[in-house]
Chain A
Amino acid sequence: DAKTTQPNSMESNEEEPVHLPCNHSTISGTDYIHWYRQLPSQGPEYVIHGLTSNVNNRMASLAIAEDRKSSTLILHRATLRDAAVYYCILRDPYSGAGSYQLTFGKGTKLSVIP
């Protein structure tokens, strides 16, 4: 499985934008880039996903490098409720029996400073 590399931790001031990077230099052509986040003592929640083009939804934006070897999750205005561990995960929907599995790395712990 292609692996991802994320910084262990990041800090942001409240109401400022946050850019969370993810490197995936060995990504395959059929890997989708998924982002999940996990608030303290809760299960993960889906944030966003994309393949090649940048994506926007109500929670965040996903910027994908042209060579797809890296991506950035953008929170436009961080709030205290955004403090969580953010996971960047690659998923290949064509990989057969394991195509629905998500393999979690260590993620980036985001702290939001009031």
Chain B
Amino acid sequence: GAVVSQHPSWVICKSGTSVKIECRSLDFQATTMFWYRQFPKQSLMLMATSNEGSKATYEQGVEKDKFLINHASLTLSTLTVTSAHPEDSSFYICSARDMAGGLLFSEQYFGPGTRLTVT
């Protein structure tokens, strides 16, 4: 099956610093990638939709200047958490849609997640 990787798998950073998380589709091309955030014992919440070559679309309440998303190629999207604070500590998960799937049957493939802890 299709594989999506994330790097790093976990990161600890100090308050005020920035952290970049990479999401790669390893064996397929993805015009659309999604970024989710999941707090402990809660469900996944969609943060933004990332389209290759264009600006990301952010969900209501998500600060676009704080969570910078770049989708420069068909296999790579990055999420940068700028000026991180302890409340940004969370499990960040990306997913990618296989272009070959078509409208009706394309499924999303999820990465393994990145655990961010801000001290």
Contacts and interface: CB of A to CB of B under 8 A. Distances in A.
The answer to whether A binds B is yes
Interface in B68-119: 91, 93-95, 97, 103-104, 106-113, 115
A110 B38 CA distance: 19
B107 A46 contact: yes
Interface in A94-112: 94, 97, 99-107
A87 B49 CA distance: 20
Interface of B: prevailing SS? strand
A93 B44 contact: no
A82 to B, nearest CB: 17
Contact of A46 (B43, B57, B108): B108
Interface stretch (A12-20, A36-44, A62-70, A72-80): A36-44
Nearest to B42: A106
Interface of B: 4, 6, 32, 34, 36, 43-46, 49, 57, 91, 93-95, 97, 103-104, 106-113, 115
Interface of A: 32, 34, 36, 38, 41-46, 49, 87, 93-94, 97, 99-107
